[in-house]
Structure 1
Amino acid sequence: MPATTFQQLLSAAFRQEGPTYLQPHDLQAYHTLQQVPPAEQGFRFERVRLLVAMSLMKALADLGDHDESRQVMQVLHKALEARSTQQIDAVITKEAHRFERLYTDLYVNEEGSQLLGLFERTLDADSIPAMDQVIEEAFELVSELDFQQQADEDEDED
């Protein structure tokens, strides 16, 4: 079930923009994690973590039209192209200032706070069961968000 929930989270977060950010093998990342030998699990776990984090940043960016969230999502997307955990770390380290700016002058509503909390838990997850819990909660939250209401409010302000 976690692989299905993972795919549902990606679909819910990226909606019509999925093809822009996600490759077909990205949707299978959790399944791949379950199938690889132990020597590859670290790297495959990091790919799942990146995709969950991207989903949360995409939802936060869409919820509040938050440019810093989009920038963090772009860094995560770039790291997703890495071929090793060392390359992932190098991309993240090089762009660490974007993560620091994520919380600067950020006003978020309750849903935004929940997304940021899940984002932090994603980065802290150090096991598959911990990640499974985050994936489940993230899918539930992203599925409940009303992105259309936010878009309507933005149009009314223009």
Structure 2
Amino acid sequence: MSALSYDQLLHLAFRTPDDAARFLTEPATTAYADFERAPQTDLAFRFERVRLGVAMALMKLLADLGDHEESRRVLDVLHKATRARSVADIDATITRDAKLFERLYTNLYVNEEGELLLNLFERTLDADSQPLMDEAIAEALEVAGELDFSPDDEHDDED
């Protein structure tokens, strides 16, 4: 069920054909199944790939929810990291652009949905076990199914 939930989350986040073609590459789409089949020696790397996929989905949802450029930049870094061949390469890719992650939270206005996505993003980055990651995926999948991406401004009047 977890690989299925992971796949559903990716497809909810990257719902347009252009987004799917760009972001739903083989390393991203097979990450959870690869993790489940990984030998003990490769487990950490495969887990990091799952983390990247979930984090990418959350950043895409946040970017689409508020047309937020910083989220798009972080998404690009995460996507670049999916091409890494080791945990050290993933860390190096993320570290090179650490300032983008810091700016993600600077001067950012988010509504309740955006705040929930950011909290899930943090939980994804902090998850250090399969059960914690599965919880984050399940919650992200639930939230993604309920988000309203309509361009109307009715939510802006609620203060």
Shorter-chain-normalised TM-score: which range?
Answer: over 0.9
Q: Please give the residue correspondences for 1:1-158 in structure 2 after superposition, counting only pairs within 5 Å.
A: 1-16=1-16, 17-147=19-149, 149=150, 151-153=151-153
Quote how far apart the aligned CAs of 1:26 are. Answer: 2.2
- What is the rounded CA distance, in whole Å, between the counterparts of 2:32 and 2:79 in structure 1? 16
Quote how far apart the aligned CAs of 1:19 are. Answer: 1.3
- What is the rounded CA distance, in whole Å, between the counterparts of 2:133 and 2:123 in structure 1? 8
Unaligned runs of 5+ in 2: 154-159
| Alignment: residue pair count | 151
Quote how far apart the aligned CAs of 1:24 are. Answer: 3.5
- What is the rounded CA distance, in whole Å, between the counterparts of 1:129 and 1:32 in structure 2? 16
Flag as ranges the 4+ runs of structure 1 deviating above 6 A: none
**Matching residue's letter, 2:110:** V
Unaligned runs of 5+ in 1: 154-158
Calculate the TM-score normalised by the size of structure 2. 0.92
1:67-111 CA-partner distances (Å, limit 9, x unpaired): 000000001011111000000000111100000000011000000
Identical positions, percent: 58
Contact 2:71 2:104 (8 Å CA) reproduced: yes
3-state SS of the aligned residue for 2:15?
helix
Quote how far apart the aligned CAs of 1:25 are. Answer: 4.4
